[in-house]
C-alpha cells in the first residue's frame, strides 16, 4: 500500500468516527484541538484502522499521534516493516 492510499484509509476512518466529511480531514488536522477527540474516540479510530489494515496498533501510539499526517507516517513505517 502506498502512503497516499494509506492516507486515504486513515482520513476516511477518522472522518467516520468524528462525523465529518472525509474532505474535512487533512494531514495537518489535529484531532484533539480541532475536533475535540477524546481517548475513547482515539481508541475507536485505532480499532477501525486495525480492522482495515490488518495490523495491531498500540494504544500508546494512538495517544502520541500529533495530527493525521503523523498517524499516516507511523502506520506507513509499521506496514513497511511487515513486508
> Measuring CA to CA, which residue among 33, 28, 61, 26 is closest to residue 45?
61
Predicted local confidence at residue 83, as pLDDT: 62
Predicted local confidence at residue 50, as pLDDT: 93
Query: Per-residue confidence at 28, pLDDT binned at 50, 70, 90?
Result: very high
Tens of pLDDT along 40-72? 999 999 999 999 999 888 888 888 888 999 999
- What radius of gyration, in Å, describes the C-alpha atoms of the chain? 11
Domain assignments of the chain as residue spans, ordered by start? 3-82
Q: Which CATH number is correct for 3-82, 1.20.140.10, 3.40.50.300, 1.10.1200.10, 3.10.580.10?
A: 1.10.1200.10
Amino acid at each position: 500500500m502506498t502512503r497516499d492510499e494509506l492516507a486515504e484509509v486513515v482520513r476516511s476512518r477518522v472522518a467516520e468516527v468524528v462525523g465529518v466529511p472525509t474532505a474535512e480531514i487533512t494531514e495537518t488536522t489535529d484531532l484533539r484541538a480541532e475536533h475535540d477527540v477524546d481517548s475513547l474516540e482515539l481508541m475507536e479510530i485505532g480499532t477501525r484502522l486495525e480492522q482495515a489494515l490488518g495490523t495491531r496498533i498500540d494504544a500508546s501510539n494512538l495517544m502520541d499521534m500529533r495530527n493525521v499526517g503523523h498517524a499516516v507516517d507511523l502506520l506507513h513505517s509499521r506496514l513497511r516493516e511487515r513486508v
